[in-house]
Amino acid sequence: MSFYDSAVPAYLQMLSSLSASLTKAETYAAAKKIEPATLLGLRLFPDMLPLSRQIQLACDFATKGAARLTGSDIPSVPDTETTFAELQQRVAKTVDYLKSFKPAQFDTAETREITFPTGPGKTTTLSGRQFLTTFSLPSFYFHVTTAHGILRMAGLDVGKRDFLGAA
């Protein structure tokens, strides 16, 4: 399996399910008369990031993962989204960005050395294989899963089929 096939379809599938869950969340907030900002600000635990930030980070890990694996410039995306519509736009832009890649761009990804920030003043260097399997995909799935968990905790009727989306 190519690195393109290992990364891009996984990112796209989960971003599609995240978008569908955001649509459900917006409908739920309206039906229950919950301020959208309240729902988007929910956290699983006080020291965890809110729903809106989980969505932004999922998009970031997909975007930056594909860019780093292909040696492309990493687009700058400020975290300014505060509404369902803005977060949906962020997801859509991420999907468009991922769809712009061609499989051949990932041909050297396995052995490419990737250096990336891992904290204030810290960087880590991994091979493309290590980067994809131990950092990029796990981090991406963590934020998608956390967003899903927040929505479930808020009372939305979302389950595994919603999480997996259209395979």
Domain residues for the domain of 89 are 3-164
State in Å, rounded, how far the first CA of the chain is from the last one. 17
Q: Is the pTM of this model over 0.85?
A: yes
| Token output for 86 | 């803005």
Reported as a single tens digit per residue, the pLDDT across 67-106 is 999 999 999 999 999 999 999 999 999 999 999 999 999 9
Say what the pLDDT of residue 6 is: 93
CATH number of the domain at 145, please.
Answer: 1.20.120.450
The pLDDT assigned to 120 comes to 94
Q: What confidence tens digit (pLDDT) does each residue in 9-40 have?
A: 999 999 999 999 999 999 999 999 999 999 99
φ/ψ (deg, to 5) at 113: -85, 125
Tens-digit pLDDT profile for residues 119-167? 899 999 999 999 999 999 999 999 999 999 999 999 988 888 888 886 5
Domain count, the chain: 1
Residue 45 pLDDT > 80: yes
41 has pLDDT over 70: yes
DSSP 80-122: ---SHHHHHHHHHHHHHHHHT--GGGGTTTTT-EEEEEEETTE
**Better pLDDT: 108 or 159:** 108
